[in-house]
Amino acid sequence: MDNRIVHGWKALPAAQRGAAVALGNFDGVHRGHQQVIAQAAKAAGRLKAPLGVVTFDPHPRRLFRPSEPAFRLMTLDQQARAMSHLGVDLLYLLPFDFEMASFTDREFVERVLVEGLGVRHVAVGFDISFGRGRSGSAELMKTYGDEFGFSVSVATAVAGGDGEKFSSTGVRDALRDGRPEIATRIMGPPFAIEGVRAARSAAGPQARASPPPMSRWSTMVVPRLGVYATRTRLPTAAKCPASPIWATIPPRAEVETRLETWLFDFDEDLYGQVIETDLIAFLRPELKFGSIELMVDQIRRDEAQARAIVAPEF
């Protein structure tokens, strides 16, 4: 989808204008987001228009609340792939800078959506806010649609069986609590770590993939540290069961967080490759061991538990 990613909203060619769009942040592309995009897709079919998604890069929170803990659930590449799987033709990445932040709700609609993107339909969630001071709402978007000549649809809340509303905040909370199964229930597919530059060292039937420290991904949410059962997608698009260890490792007198992924029954060279690892289930927190033998025994138990959880998929 790289050739259909649109960076910005000014002076766009005709081929990148006139879409039916879903508007929002879409971090994690969870089930609630998917419903908004589905509303836009219906309108795109009716209008015979491209299906677009309008979001912001960087996330507005980086401008307004830069001191908050890391929160992003997806890299831009992951977000683009998720959109592509949903049939999105155009992903608009609007720069959220001080100019964008200064627009009133009316200015955002008139200058960005109408003059810039030439939208024909806008789908929003029921709790959308836009414009300076977050003054815009779903009802106000309908009013602007009538004024400027585009149709508007509003997606209702999507909730789980317990009535909890699906949200990106819910995904973050679940991951930080070590509950990846809840994150999966909200998102649809599991939460995945991407961008792992794999370095291989054989360990019997396993291969060890050690990515850079999490400081390299300073905006990405960090799940609870510990041991998980996971599923890893390889560059060939094949999938492999694995057990990653989130561990605090002090390189050169610094303390950084790394993800080490052990790929079971795998003996290929992944050096320099980018892989993606889904978190399936939390097995245990970090432990300190009195000896190498005790650590190895625990790793064997972790492996057996992870295999039992993930094996039915392979």
The DSSP bridge partners found for residue 93 are 7, 55
* pTM strictly above 0.75: yes
Nearest to 210 by CA among 218, 220, 194, 199: 199
- How confident is the model at residue 249, as a pLDDT? 36
- How confident is the model at residue 107, as a pLDDT? 98
- How confident is the model at residue 59, as a pLDDT? 74
Q: Quick one: tokens of 115?
A: 């003059």
Relative to beta strand 90-94, strand 5-7 is parallel
Domain 190-313: give its CATH code: 2.40.30.30
User: Contact at 8 Å (CB) between 183 and 279?
Assistant: yes
Domains 2-155 and 190-313 fall in the same CATH topology:
no
Helix (H) or strand (E) holding 53: strand 51-56
Q: Is 266 helix (H, G, I), strand (E, B) or coil?
A: coil
- How confident is the model at residue 16, as a pLDDT? 97
Q: Quick one: tokens of 138?
A: 């779903």
C-alpha distances out from residue 224 to 175, 214, 281, Å: 6, 13, 11
Domain 2-155: give its CATH code: 3.40.50.620
Q: Is 66 helix (H, G, I), strand (E, B) or coil?
A: coil
Sign of CA dihedral 73, 78, 79, 84: negative
Each residue's pLDDT expressed in tens, for the chain with a length of 314 residues: 555 999 999 999 999 999 999 999 999 999 999 999 999 999 999 999 999 999 998 877 765 666 666 688 998 888 999 999 999 999 999 999 889 999 999 999 999 999 999 999 999 999 999 999 999 999 999 999 999 999 999 999 877 666 667 889 999 999 999 999 999 999 999 999 876 555 554 444 455 555 445 544 567 888 998 899 888 877 766 666 655 554 433 334 445 666 777 777 777 777 777 778 889 999 999 888 899 999 889 988 988 898 888 876 65
- How confident is the model at residue 230, as a pLDDT? 87
Distance in angstroms (rounded) separating the CA atoms of residues 103 and 183: 34
The 10 Å Cβ neighbour count of residue 221 is 22
- How confident is the model at residue 252, as a pLDDT? 40
Q: Parse the chain into domains and list their residue ranges.
A: 2-155, 190-313
User: Contact at 8 Å (CB) between 311 and 224?
Assistant: no
- How confident is the model at residue 311, as a pLDDT? 72
- How confident is the model at residue 14, as a pLDDT? 96
Distance in angstroms (rounded) separating the CA atoms of residues 264 and 148: 57
Distance in angstroms (rounded) separating the CA atoms of residues 130 and 78: 24
Nearest to 56 by CA among 145, 155, 128: 128
